Amino acid sequence: MSDLAAILIVLFVIFLPIVLLSYAILWFFSRSSTRKIPDEEHLLCRIKTSLATPEGDCRSFSTTKISVTDKAIYLGRQRIAVGSIVDVKRTASVLRVFHSGSKRVLAMWPGKRKGKKLEQAINSALALHRLDDKLEKYHANGLDADIRVHDCPFCKLPTDLTPFPPAPQVYCPYCKEISNAATEAEKGHHHREGFCDLCGHYLKIETYSTVFLMFLLIMVWAQSNTFDSCSECGRRRACIEFWKCLILGTFTAPIGMIINGYAYCRTLFAARANPANRLVHKRQYNSALDEYAQLVAQNPKKKAGLLNNIGIIHANMGKFDSSIAVFEEAIEACPNCLPLYSRLAIVHQKAGNKTAAEQVEDRIEALF
């Protein structure tokens, strides 16, 4: 054995326990506090405020108490008015609050259970604030008799439908669900449906986590990705991360391979639940259109979401006129669904109709 190899082995044996111990100490002191608080609206979690996007530079990182009221969110001494909040997005471990007051994104790690409660509290305050503002405007303009409010059967939050014509379906901007406007409660709905962040289809949505680990001498590089997507996109993403760990990883690669392999196997069979989505990913568009045509006939309560998928397929095939017609039909079924307007504008842009795309954007501004 050469002297260089012996030196490397000694360094490896000495520094590996030090690195592992350092990671353990950092994890122990950076983890969230778990002591109980009487009020459920008060939570302890780690806060990271970043500029412009969640991936921006960190401005602060600390453990503080969060208090949610009907007027504002209090983060220690910091106050964020409910009226300045634009949107709330939650994954398995991260809750992001987009607010326009300072053009920042507030990223929080409250844990899965606390994150769900915190998201519900913020969305509830946001929904009531928006509804109160609109009711005041309607009252000032003498439109009290025309007010229409729909309570989402999934998240129980109100949505104002006054600016929209009567339609069979309603889109909830808080839980991102499309529900039937005629029914008060949805029976047999046990899973979350929404728009996939990767392919844009309206399908069963789940949260997937992938891990990429690489060990290089005394440095461990770990990267974890959490995203919401349909089963087919989740399976593909997990497969990519699995092979990255297999090819580039060394000592700690099996950990990442096991986690990503589990995500791959978990979604492998779930993807078969929607054969139309699998056909889309295989680019068998004609067969997928036949499948979705049958689903539209069998599930009229999901017409808007299924038409969204059909419109995306037509756009992928280059049939922009057909895609535009399908999206317009979907908007008639669910006129307050903002993602449908956004995709309609994108199709107009791809077709070269910039004027029509601007008109769609004007429709969005007029409605909201």
Q: What is the pLDDT of residues 229-280, one digit of tens each?
A: 787 787 777 777 777 777 766 555 566 666 666 666 766 665 556 788 888 8
What integer pLDDT is reported at residue 216 of this predicted model?
61
Contact 269, 277 (CB under 8 A): no
**Bridge-based pairing state of the strands 193-195 and 219-229:** unpaired
Cα separations in angstroms, 52 against 72, 77, 103, 110: 20, 21, 6, 21
Measure the CA–CA gap between 229 and 200, rounded to whole angstroms: 9
pLDDT at residue 37 tops 50: no
The closest of 306, 300, 242 to 274, measured between CA atoms, is 306
What integer pLDDT is reported at residue 268 of this predicted model?
64
Pull the structure tokens for residue 54: 């969640």
Q: Is 285 helix (H, G, I), strand (E, B) or coil?
A: helix
Lowest mean pLDDT among 22-36, 299-313, 347-361: 22-36
Mean pLDDT of 110-135: 82
Q: What is the pLDDT of residues 69-98, one digit of tens each?
A: 778 887 767 788 888 888 888 766 677 888
Percent of the chain with pLDDT over 90: 17
Q: How sure is the predictor about 323, in pLDDT bands with cuts at 50, 70 and 90?
A: very high
Measure the CA–CA gap between 76 and 251, rounded to whole angstroms: 42
List of residues 6+ apart from 122 with CB closer than 8 A: 68, 73, 85, 88, 97
Measure the CA–CA gap between 175 and 322, rounded to whole angstroms: 29
Residue ranges of domains in the chain, CATH in brackets: 42-125 (2.30.29.30), 204-273 (no CATH)
Contact 355, 361 (CB under 8 A): no
Q: What is the pLDDT of residues 42-64, one digit of tens each?
A: 445 444 444 334 444 444 445 56
Higher pLDDT, 70 or 195: 195
Query: Strands, E, within the chain: which ranges?
Result: 42-51, 58-68, 72-75, 78-81, 85-90, 95-99, 104-109, 149-151, 158-160, 169-171, 178-180, 193-195, 202-204, 206-216, 219-229
Q: Hey, what's the torsion of the CAs at 79, 83, 87, 90, to 10 degrees?
A: 40
Neighbours of 362 (CB within 10 A): 10
Q: What is the pLDDT of residues 205-232, one digit of tens each?
A: 777 767 766 666 556 666 666 677 787 7
Cα separations in angstroms, 15 against 1, 28, 248: 21, 20, 22
Mean pLDDT of 118-142: 86
Q: Is 69 helix (H, G, I), strand (E, B) or coil?
A: coil
pTM reported for the whole predicted model: 0.73
Q: Is 89 helix (H, G, I), strand (E, B) or coil?
A: strand
Pull the structure tokens for residue 93: 């471990």
What integer pLDDT is reported at residue 27 of this predicted model?
53
Q: What is the CA radius of gyration of the chain?
A: 24
Q: How sure is the predictor about 170, in pLDDT bands with cuts at 50, 70 and 90?
A: very high
Q: How sure is the predictor about 318, in pLDDT bands with cuts at 50, 70 and 90?
A: very high
Q: How sure is the predictor about 24, in pLDDT bands with cuts at 50, 70 and 90?
A: low
pLDDT at residue 178 tops 80: yes
What integer pLDDT is reported at residue 55 of this predicted model?
43
What integer pLDDT is reported at residue 175 of this predicted model?
84
Lowest mean pLDDT among 62-71, 118-127, 148-157, 227-236: 62-71
The closest of 191, 328, 187, 358 to 273, measured between CA atoms, is 191
Measure the CA–CA gap between 296 and 286, rounded to whole angstroms: 15
| Count of alpha carbons within 13 angstroms of residue 116, beta-carbon side | 4
Q: How sure is the predictor about 348, in pLDDT bands with cuts at 50, 70 and 90?
A: very high
Cα separations in angstroms, 330 against 58, 163, 168, 358, 368: 41, 17, 11, 19, 18
Contact 114, 45 (CB under 8 A): yes
Mean pLDDT of 153-168: 87
The closest of 53, 101, 50 to 73, measured between CA atoms, is 101
What integer pLDDT is reported at residue 220 of this predicted model?
64
pLDDT at residue 36 tops 50: no
